[in-house]
Chains A and B, each alone.
Chain A
């Protein structure tokens, strides 16, 4: 496993978010992620973990606190948001592949439109990425013709094709049938060995134990516990973490 450097990629300080209906989803959540680090965020449903990582690429706004991603301070400035989104890839629970485009076009759309790279070059890279996630032979198919596990692997390759420095995973295996979870986790594990920074919201304990550098527990919109996997799972310092682990282990 590669070791993270000391350079900060994500720095979220005391982030607070209210939904328009008055519900407070984040109550001062803080997290720092270093370059090359793999951070797993766990926590009961409704604890704000998805909302939290969705603030990192401005899919959700927030009212208080500050977030700095790759040196760019997240503000409501649109150019800022676009700059951050180019550096941050996201993998969703529901895959969100574009059903009207072939697998290959799903991968090449953004690099060609946003990075203005020549189509032939991007296609070559896309095929290599599909090879890497193990579905090179499906390039010409449409997402609806693939299994859930294959779709999620395409979604990961699509995010990678933009060459992001940070990858966010929002419960990437929660919508999959059990037998397909492994193929996706294997791809993620393979990525973790690279230089790329990953923040993963998941319930997969094995993945957190073996792949993460750090595991974070969120509850009620706050970060409760932050520890190395070994410590997190065997000797957590907070009562809230112990209760959570009792429920899932």
Chain B
């Protein structure tokens, strides 16, 4: 108690000015928190979220086909748990690692809380609630198994294990859209969080290679390649995304021969991809500029060809430097998907607007927007956390630690 008091005093009331500032801030914060809680607990009517939770999650995806989404979620959860455990079982060769750092326990506890509390609060049926508990158990089990036995995996085995992710992505696409003997579900029936995540993950995955190629093109010694890249990057960066989205909807149909023009959702996803690639190229270019000339010279004088020197020496360093900027780009890309609602797609914001237009939920905008904000925040926080962990793992100067 004594210690706590002393610490409070030194942190909040060290000088009279500090004290005054602390009191003012505490008052403001508590007023804000009080006001918010009063609204959230007494005035807000959360029925609008409870009733429409499925709509927010997957849009109008046919209900009898939703088992495919559950299956995909379970596969993703299992792969995440296994990857998580494997990474802990294989710390970087020059560092020591703990199998269960306290951060991991905290994360698992938080996830458990969410899996128990959120489905309950949404008033889902017990059957659905238990599915979320099952997913949580699956995550913990895979995390535990991979951590326990993953250390025995050979380097080749680990490389093969990493292949699970691209396979899962392609398989997931097939599961969602149908094919391979499954009933087709056209993109026009995808919606909500599902569509938001699909469009943004598609754009993030594809804009990365395109952006790297553009950045290399911009530094190329071939004039045609260089000017082509500069023109592309500057044009895309000079145009607002919303105009490009409308342009994409109108022009792609004319550019491509009849029938080849992709479906509306895919058109939008491609526009997002090409848009993000231009910004990503600039982030990668800054990373390339940060790699000293001597690195390429050393690689070349060892006999490495230019592509090999790029692949093994220059790009790994450049991308590590560019990583924070790139992830910032991915996060804004995720948020930019809200613009898809303006071209009539029912992603999260589009779904929200249809819900709010329903006379039964008139005036419940606050609840809906707050839910949206929390969902987006969750996705962006996950991206940010992942990127920071990756940065720490790739940092050659970090002191040996538990990461």
What residues of B have a CB within 8 angstroms of the CB of A44 in the complex?
none
In the complex the two chains form, is B302's CB within 8 Å of A162's CB? yes
In the complex the two chains form, is A96's CB within 8 Å of B312's CB? no
Most buried by B among A57, A86, A113, A162: A113
Please report the C-alpha to C-alpha distance between residue A59 and residue B293 in the assembled complex, in whole angstroms.
Answer: 11
Answer whether residue A110 sits at the interface, using C-beta atoms and an 8 A cutoff. Answer: yes
What residues of B have a CB within 8 angstroms of the CB of A94 in the complex?
292, 294
Which residues of A, 46-89, contact B by the 8 Å Cβ criterion?
A: 57, 59, 82, 85-86, 88-89
Task: Given A110-B303, A113-B304, check contact A102 B320 (CB 8 Å).
Answer: no
What residues of A have a CB within 8 angstroms of the CB of B297 in the complex?
59, 92, 96
What residues of A have a CB within 8 angstroms of the CB of B93 in the complex?
102, 140
What residues of B have a CB within 8 angstroms of the CB of A115 in the complex?
303
Query: Mask for B290-328, Cβ within 8 A of A = 1, else 0?
Result: 001011011111111100100011001100100000000
In the complex the two chains form, is B316's CB within 8 Å of A100's CB? yes
What residues of B have a CB within 8 angstroms of the CB of A140 in the complex?
93-94
In the complex the two chains form, is A85's CB within 8 Å of B397's CB? no
Q: Residue on A with the closest CB to B295? A: A96
Q: Taking the nearest CB of chain A, how far is it from the CB of B119, in angstroms?
A: 44
Choice from B294, B304, B316, B397 contacting A114 with Cβ under 8 Å: B304
Please report the C-alpha to C-alpha distance between residue A114 and residue B320 in the assembled complex, in whole angstroms.
Answer: 25
Size category of the binding interface on chain A: 20 to 34
Query: Mask for B373-403, Cβ within 8 A of A = 1, else 0?
Result: 0000000000000000000001011000000
Answer whether residue A141 sits at the interface, using C-beta atoms and an 8 A cutoff. Answer: yes
What residues of B have a CB within 8 angstroms of the CB of A110 in the complex?
299, 302-304
Q: Residue on A with the closest CB to B311? A: A113
Q: Taking the nearest CB of chain B, how far is it from the CB of A124, in angstroms?
A: 17
Which residues of A, 3-58, contact B by the 8 Å Cβ criterion?
A: 57
Query: Mask for A93-133, Cβ within 8 A of B = 1, else 0?
Result: 01011111010000001100111000000000000000000
What residues of A have a CB within 8 angstroms of the CB of B396 in the complex?
99-100, 142-144
Please report the C-alpha to C-alpha distance between residue A2 and residue B397 in the assembled complex, in whole angstroms.
Answer: 42
Q: Taking the nearest CB of chain B, how far is it from the CB of A17, in angstroms?
A: 16
Task: Given A140-B94, A144-B396, check contact A109 B316 (CB 8 Å).
Answer: no
In the complex the two chains form, is B294's CB within 8 Å of A92's CB? yes
Answer whether residue A213 sits at the interface, using C-beta atoms and an 8 A cutoff. Answer: no
Task: Given A109-B312, A113-B312, A141-B94, check contact A96 B304 (CB 8 Å).
Answer: no
What residues of B have a CB within 8 angstroms of the CB of A98 in the complex?
295, 298-299, 313, 317
Answer whether residue A153 sits at the interface, using C-beta atoms and an 8 A cutoff. Answer: no
Answer whether residue A159 sits at the interface, using C-beta atoms and an 8 A cutoff. Answer: yes
In the complex the two chains form, is B301's CB within 8 Å of A86's CB? no
What residues of B have a CB within 8 angstroms of the CB of A214 in the complex?
none
Q: Taking the nearest CB of chain B, how far is it from the CB of A87, in angstroms?
A: 9
Which residues of B, 47-103, contact A by the 8 Å Cβ criterion?
A: 93-94
What residues of A have a CB within 8 angstroms of the CB of B295 in the complex?
96, 98
Please report the C-alpha to C-alpha distance between residue A102 and residue B316 in the assembled complex, in whole angstroms.
Answer: 13
In the complex the two chains form, is A85's CB within 8 Å of B302's CB? yes
In the complex the two chains form, is A159's CB within 8 Å of B302's CB? yes
What residues of A have a CB within 8 angstroms of the CB of B313 in the complex?
98, 109
What residues of A have a CB within 8 angstroms of the CB of B301 in the complex?
57, 59, 85, 88-90
Please report the C-alpha to C-alpha distance between residue A113 and residue B298 in the assembled complex, in whole angstroms.
Answer: 14
Please report the C-alpha to C-alpha distance between residue A100 and residue B398 in the assembled complex, in whole angstroms.
Answer: 12
Some 10 contacts from A to B, beta carbons below 8 A apart, are: A85-B302, A90-B301, A98-B298, A100-B316, A100-B396, A109-B302, A110-B304, A141-B94, A142-B94, A145-B94
Chain A residues close to B by CB (< 8 Å)? 57, 59, 82, 85-86, 88-90, 92, 94, 96-100, 102, 109-110, 113-115, 140-145, 158-159, 162
Give the top 3 A-B pairs by smallest Cβ distance, nearest first. A96-B298, A110-B302, A96-B294
